[in-house]
Structure 1
Amino acid sequence: MTDQGIYDGLTEIFRDVFGDDDIVATPELTAKDVPGWDSFNHINIIVAAEVRFGVKFRAAEIESLRNVGDFARLIAERKAA
């Protein structure tokens, strides 16, 4: 899967979770940039990404993420494994 494919998938997930068709997943995007991105929606994003990309994440990995770019790299690593 390409990086663009990962970002496209994440964009769809964000748009679905937040009900906002204007959201675009970019490497620099953080929870502070998206109104309504709370701990509940954070979990929704993680679960949706696991389902969409067919991967599983450990809690420690999720806690270390600083932005969507980190999340996309983690997804790419899991897909490559």
Structure 2
Amino acid sequence: MSTIRELLVELTGTTEYAETIGDDADLAGSGIDSGDLVRLVLLLEQRTGLEITAADMEHLRTIGDYERFVAERSAAGSAGGA
């Protein structure tokens, strides 16, 4: 299970986000409210060490968006630290 899905399950207390929500489904349209999205970002920052700005959040709508963001930022951080 992806980190994003694990965090969504942790936040919501339901496995729906691990089992039935597709990578390209809009999270807000899937029942995640704005408070949960903010908590998701805070948890993600805490667990990964990445910074997610308000401008970044405007482009993060799906599980796939979050996964790509984390992968790209993690790769950029690794390359920049080498």
Q: Does TM-score exceed 0.5, indicating one fold?
A: yes
Q: Which runs of 5 or more residues in structure 2 are unaligned?
A: 77-82
Q: Does 1:74 align with 2:54?
A: no
Alignment match, 1:23:
17
The TM-score normalised by the length of structure 2 is 0.75
Q: Which runs of 5 or more residues in structure 1 are unaligned?
A: 1-6
Report deviation, 1:57: 1.0
Report deviation, 1:9: 1.2
- Between Structure 1 and Structure 2, whose CA radius of gyration is higher? 2
Q: How many residue pairs end up in the alignment? A: 73
Cα offsets for 1:18-76 (capped at 9, x unmatched): 0103421642132212x3x1111110001111111221111111112231111111111
Q: Among all aligned residue pairs of Structure 1 and Structure 2, give the percentage whose two residues are the same amino acid.
A: 27
Which residue, out of 33, 40, 43, partners 1:45?
A: 40
Q: Which aligned segments of 4 or more residues in structure 1 are displaced greater than 6 angstroms?
A: none
RMSD after superposition: 1.7
